Amino acid sequence: MLKGKGVSKGIGIGHTKVLKTEEIKITDFKVEDKENELKFFKECLKNVMEETMKVTEKLSGTEADIMNAYLMILQDPTLTSETERLITEEGYNAGYATKVGFEAVEEMFRNMDDEYMSARASDIQDMKQKVLNKITNKAELDLTNLPENTILVSKDLSTSDTAKLNLKSIAGIIIEHGSENSHVSIMARTHEIPAIVGAKGIIKELQDDEYIAMDGSTGEIFVNPSQEEIDKLKKIQDDLKAQKNDLSKFIKRKSITKDGYKTEVVANIGSPKDMDAVIANGAEGIGLFRSEFLYMDSDAMPTEEEQFEAYKEVLEKAEGKRVIVRTLDIGGDKDLKYMKLDKEENPFLGYRAIRICLREPEIFKVQIRALLRASYYGKLAIMLPMISSVEEIRKAKEIINEVKEELKSKKVKFDKNVKVGIMIEIPSAAIMAEELAKECDFFSIGTNDLIQYTVAVERGNEKISDLYTKFHPAVIRLIKMAINGAHKSKIFCGMCGEAASDERYIPILVGLGLDEFSMNPTKMLSARKMIRSLSHKECKKIAQEVLKMNSATEIKSKMEEYIKNMEK
Ligand code: PEP
Ligand code: MG
């Protein structure tokens, strides 16, 4: 049995199509007519661009976004500047100049710290291949006509090749390289196609048309599987299907416990495009719109108009359900290239989120104006990230009021009662919850940051990730303080950190009285199912017991045991 890393769950059974990419041999020589050579290169590039645009036009949603990002790189002058220099200044032939020029850019991407950006190196490699195909007049692979139940096996699958696939005929994808963040992995998850990456040596091992089976969760690959193996995998496939069917029952149901305790299961989003998944999974609203993604997806600060359109689109699609938009939460692990923030020793403890907005109100005011104008189109709430003190809420509200006055004087319509809440993601905010609750309309607990600041473990540090745990008694006590603080002032308290969707944690949160659970849309239905199977009375008892415990390991085992017993 071969093995890789499962990145998109599901079972794939079918026949292989192995894509073996041949290296094009490129020789270097000098040309007489540099101008003509440059023209030839530009024509080849233009052809690639036009073909890519044609593919992109047929796409929508995530695929279209991915291809548009690909096109943006393809149109960026920095991609071709070295190639053009090699032709015009040094007189090299277009083929050699393309190879060397594109490889320099590929190397630059590969060395970027940001995992997503470094995964884009394979896009550049793909673009180079396509331009070289044009230069050497080589035909491209046809991926549009694959037979049904094809298991596609490839060294890497470029963004543009992925976009060309007829997904209906694909039963699974196996990639020799790749990562969880590769576009092919993202696409596979979006379309629920089983996928495995990092299957080392797979290209050498397999030929076309071999019968294989794969498990997209475990990363297992079975060549010529036995009947016994097939039966086992089909059983897993049936179970997954049954699970999905079972969950679809919960789309329109309320998020209420067996004994009538009402909560809400709402969605975390990063863009208006996520609204399809939000609606398909029956969200009761949006608990967190991470607005910084609008800023991160752009080459410059998004204008008031661009932001207004994005917020309005989400509000209209939410059809009157509450949409909580978090104001710019940049800094820490989220960088804005065009903002040129200074390098800091400890960025997580540094210049970020509300700290930037209060010191650079001209940036904050643009966003607040866009938000207030959009508030006219639905039930909008504004959430302030990284609040650590009452002064910060007061100062932010002062700015919000200034913008309100400005809009009033210009007779611009907006919701005068728009709610303003805060994230509880810094321990000082949880400790001061009672006081902070008097200054705002709601809380949402951000456990992703709250955990890191409580136990002093950076959230992305793999080496000490065992210490980063939501089961730490100090974290649970801070959550309790936040919820109690909110309830004392009769405001609601939600949670939008990852912990809100963990079934081992939900009983504790219900027991502590959390009002709203906000999470990735794909997780909402199982969370709602879980809440509906709980008794609030029993959860209160569990929360009390957990609060008396002093070890994360014990709390975690207790909750795992509880879930196991529930399943019986
Ligand atoms: C959090 O910190 O829990 C949170 C939801 O915000 P982010 O993950 O965007 O920092
Ligand atoms: Mg956070």
pLDDT digits (tens, 9 = 90+) for 434-475: 999 999 999 999 999 999 999 999 887 778 889 999 999 999
In this structure, the answer to whether residues 410 and 461 fall within a common structural domain is yes
CATH number at residue 49: 1.10.274.10
**236 lies in some domain:** no
pLDDT at 246 over 70: yes
Confidence of residue 406 (pLDDT cuts 50, 70, 90): very high
Regarding the beta carbon of 520 and ligand 1, being less than 6 Å apart is answered no
37, 84 in Cβ contact below 8 A? no
Q: What is the CATH number of the domain that holds 318?
A: 3.20.20.60
- Whether residue 241 is contained in a domain is answered as no
Do residues 385 and 425 both lie within one domain? yes
The rounded distance, in Å, linking the Cα atoms of 381 and 403 is 15
Buried b (16+ CB within 10 A) or exposed e, 130-160: bbbbbbeeeeeeebeebeeebbbbbebbbbb
Is the minimum distance from the CB of 496 to ligand 1 under 6 angstroms?
yes
Of 22-26, 195-199, 325-329, give the lowest mean pLDDT range: 22-26
Buried b (16+ CB within 10 A) or exposed e, 54-80: ebbeeeeebbebbbeebbebbeeeebb
Confidence at 181, pLDDT banded by 50, 70, 90: low
pLDDT band of residue 490 (cuts 50, 70, 90) is very high
- Regarding beta strands 264-269 and 5-8, do their DSSP bridges make them parallel or antiparallel, or are they unpaired? unpaired
From the CA of 290, give the closest atom in ligand 1.
9
Atom number of ligand 1 nearest to Cα 292: 9
Which range has the worst mean pLDDT, 341-345, 417-421, 424-428, 525-529? 341-345
Active site residues: 183, 496
Instruction: Look at residue 276 and tell me whether its pLDDT is greater than 90.
Output: no
CA distance 400 to 533: 41
pLDDT tens for each residue of 229-245: 999 999 999 999 998 89
Q: Please work out whether the CB of residue 331 comes within 6 Å of at least one atom of ligand 1.
A: no
For residues 193 and 323, membership in a common domain is answered with: no
Mutate to test the pocket of ligand 1, among 448, 453, 455, 520 (most ligand atoms within 8 A of CB): 448
Protein residue whose Cα sits closest to atom 6 of ligand 1: 446
Which ligand ends up closest to the CA of 291?
1
Q: What is the pLDDT of residue 343?
A: 85
How remote is the CA of residue 256 from the centroid of ligand 1, in Å? 25
Token couple for 299:
């080459």
How far is it, in rounded angstroms, from Cα 105 to Cα 342? 25
State the pLDDT confidence band at 511, using cuts at 50, 70 and 90: very high
- Nearest atom in ligand 1 to 445's CA: 3
Residues 452 and 552 in one domain: yes
Asked whether residue 91 falls in the same domain as residue 150, the answer is no
Atom of ligand 1 nearest to the CA of 288: 5
Whether 172 and 265 map to the same domain: the answer is no
Q: Are residues 44 and 173 in the same domain?
A: no
pTM metric for this prediction: 0.70
**Beta strand segments in 286-359, E:** 286-290, 322-326
335 in a structural domain: yes
Show which of 201, 225, 249 is a domain's final residue.
225
User: Is the same domain home to 92 and 157?
Assistant: no
The answer to whether residues 220 and 199 belong to one domain is yes
**Three-state secondary structure of 56-86:** HHCCCHHHHHHHHHHHHHHHCHHHHHHHHHH
Does residue 292's CB lie within 6 angstroms of at least one atom of ligand 1? no
The answer as to whether 473 is a domain residue is: yes
**Residue 530 to residue 549: CA distance in whole angstroms:** 24
Residue 160: its pLDDT value, please? 66
- Tell me how far the alpha carbon of residue 442 lies from the centroid of ligand 2, in angstroms: 16
> Which pLDDT tens digit goes with each residue over 314-372?
999 999 999 999 999 998 877 787 888 888 889 999 999 999 999 999 999 999 999 99
Among candidate residues 87, 111, 135, the one where a domain is terminated: 135
Is 295 inside any structural domain? Answer: yes
Q: What's the rounded Cα separation, in Å, for the pair 400 and 417?
A: 12
> Closest Cα to residue 188, out of 48, 66, 17?
66
**Mean pLDDT score of the chain:** 91
301 C-alpha vs ligand 1 centroid, how far in Å? 21
Domain stop point among 225, 247, 278: 225
Percentage of the chain beyond pLDDT 90 is 69
Residue 480 included in any domain: yes
Whether residue 199 sits in one domain with residue 168: yes
Q: Indicate whether 240 belongs to any domain.
A: no
Task: Based on the fold, state whether residues 272 and 215 are members of the same structural domain.
Answer: no
Residue with CA closest to ligand 1 atom 3? 446
CB-based contact 266:513 (threshold 8 Å): no
What is the crossing angle of helices 94-110 and 121-135, to 10°?
A: 170
Which of 496, 501, 516 to mutate to test ligand 1, by most ligand atoms within 8 A of the CB atom?
A: 496
**pLDDT surpassing 80 at residue 116:** no
Phi, psi (deg, nearest 5) at residue 197: -120, 175
Look at residue 23 in the predicted model and tell me its pLDDT: 59
Tell me whether residue 79 is in a domain.
yes
Amino acid letter for position 78: T
Question: Do 211 and 270 belong together in one domain?
Answer: no
Q: Which of 77, 132, 491 is nearest to 299 (CA)?
A: 77
Place of tokens 């609750």: 437
Residue numbers of the domain that contains 321: 257-567
Total domains, the chain: 3
Quick: pLDDT tens for 58-97. Answer: 777 667 777 888 888 888 888 999 999 999 999 999 999 9
